[in-house]
């Protein structure tokens, strides 16, 4: 596979696609498809930018030297640090262009949201004091790939924010967090060695596993909290949630957790599709 596709980490893209899909479905019959496509472009290219930025920052810091997860371009020597940094920059430029167009169609406030999103993307592992090294990664993902992505897309369609748009953002944030949580659980031993204080490192192996399961539970409960009968469709993925949770609680670690990352991404996408259907046919 092309090294740049590997570096973009396609398995993480459901975290970008899912909130846009759900927010557009919540709009109902009055969807503006141009705005929807622009919102999707912003989300996807921000996610790709985050992945390249993390690859670059962790690579130059040396924290990926003993990584057991998917190949990182800088740490593995497949690409130079400068070229990966440039790939991150290009990704953010593409996201910014789409976001600016979207803001011109709706509200200049979206430009501010975009600036904050890119700053958060870079600051996760970049700079002198990356917040991802201090256990704030999950909180950031919940906000930016859950609440902001979902409510931002909804606002771009309707130019208003509602309590319901916030409630439907919670499952998206929880499942995006779950993707990061399983990633950090897998890397916990090596992160601990290099002083990367992720949530998994801070709370320990057992609690990190329980937190992962709790995020899946939160996603299901929050969906039901919409009180929309057709959203019961999301319960169709409950067996999948249960199966993945059993795997995580079984104690598997290291490379054995790599497939769980892919399954979590598939769970988020399946959940989002069913959630969107439930919201769309209400």
Per-residue DSSP letters for 131-194? GGGGT-HHHHHHIIIIIIHHHHHHHHHHS---HHHHHHHHHHHHHHHHHHHHHHHHTHHHHHHT
CATH number of 10-280: 1.10.600
CA distances from 193 to 77, 184, 217, 258, 276 (A): 21, 13, 31, 20, 42
What pLDDT, in 10s, does the model give residues 80-108?
A: 889 989 999 999 999 999 999 999 999 88
Could you give the CA distance from residue 198 to residue 181 in angstroms, rounded to a whole number? 9
What pLDDT, in 10s, does the model give residues 215-239?
A: 999 999 999 999 999 999 999 999 9
pTM: 0.89
pLDDT at 161: 92
What pLDDT, in 10s, does the model give residues 228-281?
A: 999 999 999 999 999 999 999 999 988 899 899 889 989 999 999 999 999 988
pLDDT at 165: 95
What are the extents of the domains in the chain? 10-280
Q: How many helices (H) and strands (E) does the chain have?
A: 14, 0
Evaluate the CA torsion angle 225, 231, 237, 239 in order and state its sign: positive
What DSSP string runs through 56-76? Answer: HHHHHHTTTTT--SS--HHHH
Structural contact between residues 156 and 113, judged by C-beta atoms closer than 8 angstroms: no
Could you give the CA distance from residue 27 to residue 15 in angstroms, rounded to a whole number? 20
Could you give the CA distance from residue 102 to residue 123 in angstroms, rounded to a whole number? 24
- Look at the block and give the residue holding tokens 């990061």: 180
Rg of the Cα trace of the chain?
A: 18
């Amino acid at each position: 596979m092309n090294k740049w596709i590997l570096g973009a980490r396609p398995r993480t893209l459901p975290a970008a696609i899912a909130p846009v899909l759900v927010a557009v479905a919540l709009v109902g019959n009055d969807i503006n498809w141009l705005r929807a496509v622009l919102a999707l472009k912003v989300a996807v290219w921000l996610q790709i930018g985050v992945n390249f930025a993390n690859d670059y920052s962790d690579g130059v810091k040396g924290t990926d030297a003993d990584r057991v997860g998917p190949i990182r371009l800088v740490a593995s020597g497949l690409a130079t640090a400068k070229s990966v940094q440039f790939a991150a920059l290009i990704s953010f430029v593409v996201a910014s262009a789409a976001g600016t167009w979207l803001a011109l169609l709706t509200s200049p406030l979206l430009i501010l949201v975009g600036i904050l999103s890119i700053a958060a993307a870079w600051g996760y592992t970049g700079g002198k004091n990356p917040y991802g090294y201090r256990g704030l990664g999950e909180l950031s993902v919940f906000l930016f790939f859950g609440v902001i992505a979902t409510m931002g897309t909804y606002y771009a369609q309707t130019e208003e924010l509602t309590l319901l748009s916030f409630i439907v953002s919670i499952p998206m944030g929880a499942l995006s967090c779950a993707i990061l949580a399983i990633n950090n659980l897998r890397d916990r031993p090596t992160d601990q060695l290099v002083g990367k204080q992720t949530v998994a490192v801070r709370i320990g192996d057992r609690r990190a596993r329980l937190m992962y399961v709790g995020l899946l539970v939160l996603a299901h409960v929050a969906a039901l909290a919409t009180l929309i009968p057709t959203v019961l469709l999301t319960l169709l993925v409950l067996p999948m949630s249960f199966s993945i949770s059993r795997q995580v609680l079984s104690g598997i670690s290291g490379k054995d957790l790599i497939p769980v990352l892919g399954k979590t991404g598939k769970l988020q996408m399946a959940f989002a599709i069913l959630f969107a259907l439930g919201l769309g046919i209400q």
